[in-house]
Homo-oligomer: A and B are copies of this chain.
Amino acid sequence: MMNRALELIQDKKFAEARAAVKEMNPVDIAALFEELEPEQTVMLFRLLPKETAAEAFAYMTPEVQEQVLSALTDVEVQTVLDSQFMDDTVDMLEEMPANVVKRVLRLTDSETRGMLNRLLNYADGSAGSIMTTEYVDLKQDMTVRQAFDHIRRTAGEMETINTCYVTDRNRILEGVVTVRELLMAEENTLLGDVMEKEPLSVSTDESDEEVAQLFSRYDLLALPVVDRENRLVGIITIDDAVDVLQDANTEDFEKMAAMAPSENTYLKTSAFTHARKRVVWLLVLMISGVITGNIISHYEDAFAAIPLLVSFIPMLMDTGGNCGSQSATLVIRGMALDEIRPRDFFRVVFKEFKVSILVGAVLAPVNILWIWLRYQNFWIALTVGLSTLVTICVSKLMGCILPMAAKRCHLDPAIMASPLITTIVDACSIFVFFNMALLILKV
């Protein structure tokens, strides 16, 4: 579908292109815009029915949005803005250069402008920054019939009507009622009698990730956002919560691989930015690698006497690193999903200790056996085997303790992930190994 539309545009068969694109989903139309040359972008935008174009606009990347905006007339920009939801306009403005923001704000009426300015002021990553102000606002003393009249009149401008909000004359949130509950109630019932009182709500400065977790935990479709006086200022809808959830997961993946989180998709980020986001941790970890190296050089006599010892270093380091990242990943993920809480500290540590013993009981004998068979030296085999066991225990314990400790210090547990743990565990395993060698092999 998309490829055909693209061909038609490139062949300049505009009437046919228009017909093909019109049938597409706005999300796919937005993706199609990504593929076009700048001059084609504006042309196609004008070809489309106004409503379709405006709907697709909300899903475009900031680059394409900027292209389109700068080529449209003031009247056209106004049409686009009118048909957009407030939260989408805010998302867009956050990415635009100052001159575009200025123009957009100039083209909106003063009420909308005030609202946009307020929304733009909420800190990035707060509930306020992802909420919208287009919700159905009802009163307790309305009847169900009056509520429906109100909904019918305003539905076109609302982000959702599936959940409606009941406020008093000071905009204090009093309750929520779903359209389903309204449909099932008698026409003359008062909203005060059908609404759910004391609904779950969040404040504007709540973190957006916490909000997203609430959606996931309570199976919500929308959540009211209130200010300090419990006045309703906006709502957050599930589509935005899902985006936050996905972004939070991506960020955790990045942090756990020792990178600063990126704001953009992989391909849209320049090589220079990629390098900048990765090089700091690499430098830090390289220096920790040097420390491990220093430990090794203390034992030059040992591996001068038995050079074979050196060849076990990679295996021990890898095993330690892998064990540590297994534990760290499970604990970090468990805490992110709220399945592991601070009070579970000792349960987790004890469980990881048991797991270490079980895993060590498999890996250590395997090592002892093959080294013994291959090098015909039981004592070297025993040295490596016991070092494997100790390395596994140390790395699994580090892997679970460090992220939980980070959380307790209000740091992000994800930075305590594999790479950092690996370097710490490396130093430990080398230390254990050579001391074991000194002890058992008397080198």
Contacts and interface: CB of A to CB of B under 8 A. Distances in A.
Given A254-B329, A351-B271, A426 B314 contact: yes
Given A275-B359, A278-B323, A313-B314, 13 more contacts: A27-B218, A156-B184, A162-B179, A253-B329, A257-B418, A259-B326, A266-B339, A279-B359, A283-B362, A285-B322, A300-B310, A313-B313, A318-B426
B250 A337 contact: yes
Contacts of A216: 242-243, 246
A441 interface: no
A49 interface: no
A337 B267 contact: no
Interface size class of A (residues with CB under 8 A): 35 or more
A218 B314 CA distance: 47
Interface in A225-248: 238-239, 242-243, 245-246
Contacts of A290: 315, 370
Given A183-B161, A359-B282, A366-B283, A238 B267 contact: no
A95 to B, nearest CB: 17
A322 B254 CA distance: 12
Contacts of A274: 330, 351, 355
A314 B340 contact: no
A334 interface: yes
Interface stretch (A37-45, A68-76, A291-299): A291-299
Q: Report, nearest first, the 7 A-B pairs whose CB atoms are least far apart.
A: A289-B315, A275-B358, A293-B311, A257-B329, A271-B354, A292-B314, A219-B239
Contact of A238 (B221, B254, B293): B221
A108 to B, nearest CB: 24
A321 to B, nearest CB: 7
A296 B315 contact: no
A313 B339 contact: no
A363 B215 contact: no
